[in-house]
């Protein structure tokens, strides 16, 4: 197979979209947790006159909502604070290895370095561990055929996270 070569710069919007896809795949989506938190606060407020459980439920739900907001702020800040996220990234995907060039240096990885992948309509996340992943925007590819070829290669080398 001919190696697939791409170069891209990740935007904050692409990075955060990848984070949300990751969170959703782990049942930790911001929307679902926020809705759950709001419902919990309403139920807790209804229980307040009857029992201390209402106050506890309100407190827990406020913490849940704060965690959703805080997580988003922390990940945005990490993106903006690290040059490696915004500098050009060049990748060459071969049958056996992946060649990577970033502002931090150059490396060659075996496909076995990755434990899984998640495909979204806009990007592909390649997982190193359950919580760490590389983001590859589909816009980095020259055309739909190159994306299809890449996904075929990924699918043959890495299990899907679905």
DSSP-derived secondary structure for 5-41: EEEE---HHHHHHHHHHHHHHTT--HHHHHHHHHHHH
Residue 46's pLDDT is 84
Residue 37's pLDDT is 82
CA distance 105 to 5: 17
CA dihedral (136, 140, 142, 144) in degrees, to 10, reads 40
Highest mean pLDDT, choosing among 1-5, 32-36, 54-58, 143-147 = 143-147
pLDDT tens per residue, range 39-60: 888 888 888 887 788 888 888 8
CA dihedral (134, 16, 76, 125) in degrees, to 10, reads -10
Residue 105's pLDDT is 92
Domain 4-10+87-157, CATH class in plain words: mainly beta
SS3 131: coil
DSSP state of 160: B
Q: What are the sequence ranges of the domains in the chain?
A: 4-10+87-157, 17-81
Residue 162's pLDDT is 59
Q: For residue 43, what are its two tokens?
A: 């139920």
The whole-number average pLDDT for the span 138-160 is: 92
pLDDT tens per residue, range 25-36: 877 667 777 777
Residue 29's pLDDT is 65
Residue 57's pLDDT is 85
């Amino acid at each position: 197979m001919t190696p697939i070569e791409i170069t891209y710069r990740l935007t904050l919007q692409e990075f955060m979209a990848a984070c949300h896809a990751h969170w959703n795949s782990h049942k930790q989506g911001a929307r679902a947790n926020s809705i759950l938190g709001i419902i919990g606060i309403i139920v807790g407020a209804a229980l307040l006159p009857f029992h201390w459980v209402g106050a506890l439920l309100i407190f827990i739900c406020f913490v849940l909502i704060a965690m959703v907001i805080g997580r988003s702020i922390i990940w945005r800040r990490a993106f903006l604070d690290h040059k490696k996220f915004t500098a050009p990234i060049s990748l060459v995907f071969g049958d056996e290895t992946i060649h990577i060039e970033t502002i931090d240096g150059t490396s060659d990885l075996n496909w076995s370095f990755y434990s899984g992948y998640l495909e979204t309509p806009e990007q592909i996340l390649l997982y190193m561990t359950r919580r760490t992943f590389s983001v590859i925007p589909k816009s980095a590819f020259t055309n739909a055929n190159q994306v299809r070829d890449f996904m075929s290669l990924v699918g043959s080398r890495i299990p899907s996270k679905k």
